[in-house]
């Protein structure tokens, strides 16, 4: 049996986001790539992507190869305003058993200045900006 040791509970979600490969000062190297936020926690999450490359750059390996490079996760709130969260890739995998094949990539948040946008995304992941992650998880257990 595998005992997962996550810092915070991860929930399944289905939200459209964009991923961009950027410099930490804001310049865009590649993207945006349309993705779907698949799982989410207060420390990171995972996305489903049609391709792991954008504009000829590998979204996972480029963050390691280029100095001061990170992923930028961009999403829109209910009013259409765009928000971004800096993250770094943690893992990726190609799902070969599915047609068409797709990629999953995990990431972690690393900037404390993104805290308000993480909370906003957390609210959207739960369907209500007023709920926190612990209430969402509690709701999930009450439904089962």
19-46-64 Cα angle (round to 5): 60
DSSP state of 67: T
pLDDT for res 7: 61
Q: What is the pLDDT along the chain (144 residues), one digit of tens a residue?
A: 455 555 667 778 888 999 999 987 778 999 899 999 989 888 899 999 988 999 999 999 888 888 888 999 999 988 999 999 999 999 999 987 777 778 999 999 988 888 899 888 888 877 544 444 444 334 434 433
| Domain 11-143, architecture per CATH | Beta Barrel (2.40)
> The whole model's pTM is what?
0.76
Domain range annotation of the chain: 11-143
State the number of CA atoms in the 13 A half-sphere of 126 facing the CB: 21
pLDDT for res 84: 93
pLDDT for res 41: 87
């Amino acid at each position: 049996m595998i005992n997962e040791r996550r810092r915070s509970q991860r929930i399944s979600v289905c939200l459209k986001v964009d991923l961009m490969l950027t410099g930490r000062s804001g310049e865009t190297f590649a993207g945006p790539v349309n993705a779907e936020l698949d799982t989410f926690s207060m420390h990171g999450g995972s996305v489903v992507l049609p391709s792991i490359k954008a504009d000829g750059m590998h979204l996972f390996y480029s963050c390691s190869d280029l100095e001061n490079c990170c992923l930028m996760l961009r999403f829109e709130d209910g009013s259409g305003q765009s928000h971004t969260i800096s993250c770094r890739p943690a893992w990726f995998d190609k799902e070969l058993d599915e047609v068409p094949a797709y990629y999953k990539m995990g990431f972690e948040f690393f900037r404390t200045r993104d805290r308000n946008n993480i909370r906003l995304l957390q609210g959207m992941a739960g369907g209500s900006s007023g709920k926190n992650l612990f209430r969402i998880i509690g709701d999930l257990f009450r439904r089962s």
